Amino acid sequence: MKKSNLEVSENKQKEVKKVVKEVNEVKPVVNEIKEVKENDIHEKKTFKEVMGNCVAKTKEFFVGFPKNTKEFFVNLPHNSKEFVKSIPNKKGFNSVASSLISILVGIFIGFLFMVFAIVFQKTASPFRGLGFVFGGPFGSSNVGYELGNMLFKTVPLIFTGLSVGIAYKTGLFNIGAPGQFLMGTMGALLVALSINTTGNRFAGVMVWLLALVVAIAFAILWALIPGFLKAQFGINEVIICIMTNWIAANLVSWVYSSLPNLKNPAVGKGGFLIKTNVTGNFTPKIGLDKLFSSRNGSFLSDLDISILIAIVVGILLWVLMNKTTLGYSLKACGYNRNAAKYAGINEKLNIMIAMGIAGALAGLGGAFYYLNPGQEMIINTSATLPNYGFNGIPAALLANSNPIGIIFTSLFIRYIESGSLNLTKAGYNQNIGSIIIAIIIYLAGFSRFFSERLDDIKKFFANKKKEQEGKLLTTEGQVKQNNTNKGGK
Amino acid sequence: MFGNIILLTILYAIPMMMVALGGVFAERSGVINLGLEGGMIFGAFIGAIVCKAVIEGSKVDGGGYALASNQGVFILGMFVSMLAGAIFSLLLSFSAINLKADQTIGGTALNLLAPAIVLTFGLLIPSIRSDKVDSHASFSLGGENYLSTYICLALFIGLSIWLYKSKIGMHLRACGEHPSAADSVGINVYKMRYLGTTISGALAGLGGFVYIFTRVSGIAESSVAGLGFLSLAIMIFGNWNPVLIALGALLFGFLKVLGVVANSTFLEALNLPGYFYNMLPYIIVIVTLVLSRNNSGVPKAEGIPYDKGAR
């Protein structure tokens, strides 16, 4: 007891000393400030004086420069530590970190698969394979061309990612994106392929716009089936979405096969529809394809303005979700449907609005992909659903459904897939990329687990820090350090 | 003609029935297994590889095969495919039960993972893609008569009775209805959910194997083509009840056969393509869901991760 009392009094003495010291240091600074203020108010400086002052200040700066920079670098570790410490407190850090963990672990498991594949393919080299996966389009000999195609193929992914993301924010799992994608494609192609505007570019663009509108209408109607059933009867939207996917796959094939005019007449192309460049209603390219082409310009990539539209739509959706009443009421439904209802939000209407927006986005993705003059739609899709619809799920999950984040995660996913196209050079095939993405989706489901572990780690370090600080405060060294820091400033 | 249609209907119904029963086991224990399709593809793939390896291994120098009968290989393939499906479903169990992750996402990931694995290794090992094992005739008992039909029927009846009449089966179903109540009387909820999901994976693998070797002659990559989802639909249509599921499987199997043979029967006058009959089951399921929304047999706690600490 006595000892601790002594310690306390010693500490108090030290603190008093510290305060006195600080006051002494602060006094001249305050006086200076006072003088400066008075000068500013009462004296009108001449131009020469101002310039002189300027020169003097610059001189001071340069003279003090080595010292200042030294101080900066001495303080840097401390400052950066503070900075790093401040990040985990920010809200998005955990989700970004857990996405990064998912991605890295996913790629690592893909690598393990490549190692395992040596059993069957003696010539395969997993390290080269890993290099190709990381290299994306840059592993190709035709970088510009591959980069352009990668950007173009990102477009449908951004749209389906946004579709899944918006629904997810509203508490709905839109696994129906493939079906909406197909319906949008059908709407767009029915318009774009049945009206011939070859030669008249203006009419072509007008029909193109009409095709987009019809695509949106078809896809919204399709998405409203699960949306309506969920809102009105509370039926699980996942089940209905899966059913509507397969209905769409068969319906679309049925419609295409019953329209012989749209069939590609070329030999060996009987299973496909004609391309949009035949009828002239394709997406404008405004030279982007020439910008991203092979080195000598002989191969133009498929890139068109849809990538710009996709980015703009992503930003607009971010504004919608974060800056508007509608966005907030959608999110409120996602957090707690009953609470939202209690707060006076029409939760049924909101579910339908969210599904409608989600459908429109997925449909636009399909429309933009197949309105490109280089793509052709297969007639019989009844046995397979488009991968773009499903890959929207990892794009949305990795970005934590943030619309702007989805743009980047979509680019990332396409980057990996584009890189895996080169895997044949390392003795594999492109499906390794699909494995990696499937594993990333699987891991993205763990985001809660990852962020909980991150919290644990943070707590552990915070506790350790507290203990250390508790020890340091009682030593004189800490007090001195504090004083020197303040003196420096 | 009609005898043929009935035989084909049964051949389609058997694998769907097994996979749908697998869905029941998972959902009755409280886990939504959307990865049934993936389990079918994976099980079929591994089963096919093993069958192929065994037959190739028995090759005699002269060019013939030393195996007296293919039926033994077929049974081995069924067993292996069950094992493979069960192991594959552990991925879902781990994420859904231990890590309490979203089960829908986990199942979707499995559905994407299985075809990716099959395609990757299918392309790496070209020999497994085209050979005698793929042709379904080699396992036939004669015509469209397969040993697997009887094995699957026996398994279906046995497992259904086990789920409803045995102690473990009741414990398993309790975990899907009210896990904390089950826990309070000493049932290990995690164990039961693992059991349910693993059985569902095994049945999915078996269904996939039987389907591709009796109906489709080819490797699994695109042959399964949504049959897992159709089985999920049958499970919902059958209101999570094995008897109704068997009837639903027969109905949907009949629709599938109709899609193939429609234009050679009296339905030719309607002039509807196979696509129409293909999408009919899905439409029926949606209508069923809307009509039966008030007395649905859906397990109350399905899809909700069980947290021991939650009140």
Tell me if B124 and A121 make a contact (CB, 8 A cut-off). Answer: yes
Query: Torsion angle, CA of A422/A428/A429/A433, rounded to 10 degrees?
Result: -80
Percent of chain B exceeding pLDDT 90 equals 31
Whole-number pLDDT of residue A77: 61
Whole-number pLDDT of residue B126: 63
Whole-number pLDDT of residue A187: 94
- For the beta carbon of residue A65, count every other beta carbon within 10 angstroms: 10
Confidence of residue B131 (pLDDT cuts 50, 70, 90): very low
| Distance from C-alpha of B78 to C-alpha of B207, rounded to nearest angstrom | 9
* A254 CB within 8 Å of a chain B CB: yes
Mean pLDDT confidence for A428-445: 84
Q: What are the residue ranges of helices labelled H in A87-138?
A: 92-116, 126-135
Nearest to A416 by CA among A71, A93, A106: A106
| pLDDT higher at A30 or A124 | A124
Tell me if A435 and B236 make a contact (CB, 8 A cut-off). Answer: no
Average pLDDT, chain A: 81
Whole-number pLDDT of residue A385: 83
Tell me if B279 and A246 make a contact (CB, 8 A cut-off). Answer: yes
DSSP structural state of residue A273: B
Q: Residues of A with CB below 8 A from B109's CB?
A: 438-439, 441-442, 445
* For residue A8, pLDDT beyond 70: no
Q: Residues of B with CB below 8 A from A242's CB?
A: 34, 229, 232-233
Mean pLDDT confidence for B66-87: 82
Query: Looking up tokens 């070209």, which residue turns up?
Result: B126
A98 burial level (CB within 10 Å; 0-12, 13-18, 19+): buried
Whole-number pLDDT of residue A369: 94
In this predicted model, what pLDDT tens digit does every residue of A60-108 receive, in sequence order?
Answer: 766 666 666 666 666 666 666 665 555 544 556 777 788 888 888 888 9
In this predicted model, what pLDDT tens digit does every residue of A292-335 receive, in sequence order?
Answer: 887 777 788 888 899 999 999 999 999 999 888 898 989 888 88
Whole-number pLDDT of residue A6: 59
C-alpha of A246 from chain center: 29
Report the gap between the CA of A17 and the closest CA in chain B (Å). Answer: 52
CA separation (Å) from A117 to A222, A257, A311? 42, 41, 38
| Distance from C-alpha of A350 to C-alpha of A360, rounded to nearest angstrom | 15
Lowest mean pLDDT among A57-61, A312-316, B17-21: A57-61
Tell me if A441 and B112 make a contact (CB, 8 A cut-off). Answer: yes
Residue A272 DSSP SS3: strand
Mean pLDDT confidence for A227-253: 90
Count the alpha carbons within 13 Å of A289 in the hemisphere toward its beta carbon: 15
Residues 283..302 of B with a Cβ closer than 8 Å to A: which?
283, 285-286, 289-290, 293
- For the beta carbon of residue A259, count every other beta carbon within 10 angstroms: 15
Mean pLDDT confidence for A390-415: 89
Lowest mean pLDDT among A42-56, A103-117, B33-47, B160-174: A42-56
* For residue A474, pLDDT beyond 70: no
Whole-number pLDDT of residue A248: 94
* For residue A27, pLDDT beyond 70: no
Percent of chain A exceeding pLDDT 70 equals 81
What ipTM was reported for this prediction? Answer: 0.84
Tell me if B120 and A113 make a contact (CB, 8 A cut-off). Answer: yes
* For residue A131, pLDDT beyond 80: yes
Report the gap between the CA of A433 and the closest CA in chain B (Å). Answer: 8
What residues contact residue A154 under an 8 Å CB cut-off, 6+ apart? Answer: A307, A310, A410, A411, A414
Mean pLDDT confidence for A261-269: 81
Mean pLDDT confidence for A104-131: 84
Confidence of residue A1 (pLDDT cuts 50, 70, 90): very low
> What is the phi-psi region of residue B287: left when phi exceeds 0, alpha when psi lies from -120 to 50, beta otherwise?
alpha
Query: Looking up tokens 């449909």, which residue turns up?
Result: A363
Percent of chain A exceeding pLDDT 90 equals 26
What residues contact residue A14 under an 8 Å CB cut-off, 6+ apart? Answer: A476, A479
Mean pLDDT confidence for A331-350: 87
Q: Residues of A with CB below 8 A from B226's CB?
A: 246, 249, 383, 385
Whole-number pLDDT of residue B3: 75
* For residue B128, pLDDT beyond 60: no
Domain definitions of chain B by residue range: 15-223
What residues contact residue B174 under an 8 Å CB cut-off, 6+ apart? Answer: B181, B182, B187, B192
Whole-number pLDDT of residue B136: 43
Confidence of residue B267 (pLDDT cuts 50, 70, 90): low
Residue ranges of domains in chain A, CATH in brackets = 30-69 (no CATH), 93-450 (1.10.3470)
Report the gap between the CA of A321 and the closest CA in chain B (Å). Answer: 23
Average pLDDT, chain B: 82
Q: Give the pair of three-digit tokens for residue A273.
A: 């529809």
Whole-number pLDDT of residue A91: 55
Buried b (16+ CB within 10 A) or exposed e, B16-42: bbbbbbbbbbbbbbbbbbbbbbbbbbb
Bridge partners (DSSP) listed for residue A293: A300
Nearest to B101 among A251, A385, A449 (CB): A449
| pLDDT higher at A260 or A178 | A178
Whole-number pLDDT of residue B306: 82
| Distance from C-alpha of A289 to C-alpha of A304, rounded to nearest angstrom | 7
In this predicted model, what pLDDT tens digit does every residue of B87-102 receive, in sequence order?
Answer: 999 999 998 888 888 8
Residues 150..189 of B with a Cβ closer than 8 Å to A: which?
none
In this predicted model, what pLDDT tens digit does every residue of B153-190 receive, in sequence order?
Answer: 999 999 999 999 999 999 999 998 888 898 888 899 99
Lowest mean pLDDT among A425-429, A435-439, B222-226: B222-226
Residue B230 DSSP SS3: helix
DSSP structural state of residue B99: S
What residues contact residue B243 under an 8 Å CB cut-off, 6+ apart? Answer: B160
* B1 CB within 8 Å of a chain A CB: no
| pLDDT higher at B132 or B162 | B162
* B276 CB within 8 Å of a chain A CB: yes
How many A×B Cβ pairs under 8 Å? 140
* A448 CB within 8 Å of a chain B CB: yes
Q: Residues of A with CB below 8 A from B115's CB?
A: 434
Q: What are the residue ranges of helices labelled H in A170-236?
A: 177-194, 201-233
Query: Looking up tokens 């030593």, which residue turns up?
Result: A475
Q: Residues of B with CB below 8 A from A250's CB?
A: 275-276, 278-279
| Distance from C-alpha of A153 to C-alpha of A161, rounded to nearest angstrom | 13
* For residue B269, pLDDT beyond 70: no
Whole-number pLDDT of residue B141: 67
Whole-number pLDDT of residue B132: 41
